[in-house]
Structure 1
Amino acid sequence: MDEEKKIQILEEVMLEYGNDLVRLAFNYVKDKETAKDMVQETFIKCYEKLDEFRNESNLKTWLYRITINQCKDYLRSWHYRKVQTKSVIENTFRTVFPLTEEKIINQANTEEMLEIVASLTKNYREIIYLYYYKSLTISEITDVTGLNENTVKTRLRRAKQRLKTMMKEADIYG
């Protein structure tokens, strides 16, 4: 078979079966780019072996068989196993350690924040505790403490200002 005829057949095959072969390969390798690479290899083999095709089977089934074999070879390959192992390890580290690191940082910040709140004077500490930790409203704090509502608002505002300054000095929460 001459080169021109092989190229024409290959172009027709690529247009007609390309998408189907990519979907087939994807079912094996579970990665779109790798599936495309497998199909590209299939088309290269098709081009190289087109003279040997004996028409004992349908061209489509022949291409499917080449693609499946290509995928199976890839899945058995040293490269794939190495990449998969590396990927599993990286994903494990990415999912476990950032969460652990984030928890430790948050816990340290929370502990430091509690120390800062504890260092406030009793009047401010009490208002902050009731407002933020017990989620009471201004009027509820007024009822609990017996203070005037404006006094509670003033203490809360001043306590927030002091906390903000102290948090900046301690470099908590940026």
Structure 2
Amino acid sequence: MQEITIDIIGNENIEEVMDEIMKRYGQEILHLVYSYVKNKAVAEDLTQEIFIKCYKAYPTFNKKSKLRTWVWRIAINHCKDYLKSWYNKNVIVTEEESTNTSTNGETIEQTLIQKDEDHRLVSAVMNLPIKYREVIYLYYYEELLIKEIALLIEKKESTVKTRLKRAKELLKDSLEE
């Protein structure tokens, strides 16, 4: 994805900048947040809160990092704060899953088998401890480099590599059961 280049001159319209940021990064931030909270409704709410934080903090953005990295850092920190919050620990949020039907000419059996396998994989990933889940998500789903992941989660590259290796082992063990 191409990085947004915005010159901070002081006379740009912050609403236009935020509109462009939300268009470019909104969906991926939503996916990232969902990987932390495992609930679509909560993820949508947190994503809105993240963009409000970005809006308020934008004047302090100093261009030392890419804009995308800056937004992701805010999102990750917000998710971690939410996971530690009283609300998350004491309020149970329910979510109804919608079902999709296949129209690609696949048989019902193939669709059900694929859906079951996908569900098992997603469940296995979502059941990983957060430190493993986030590196799996960022590496495989967002296709970030280990160096970029290290920058985002503020850990050494060797730590990211170790967490990826351990996460894969945990997933393998979980899926073989």
* TM-score range normalised by the length of the shorter chain: 0.3 to 0.5
- Provide the TM-score with structure 2 as the length reference: 0.45
Higher relative contact order (CA 8 A, sep 6+): 2
Larger Rg: 1
Higher helix proportion: 1
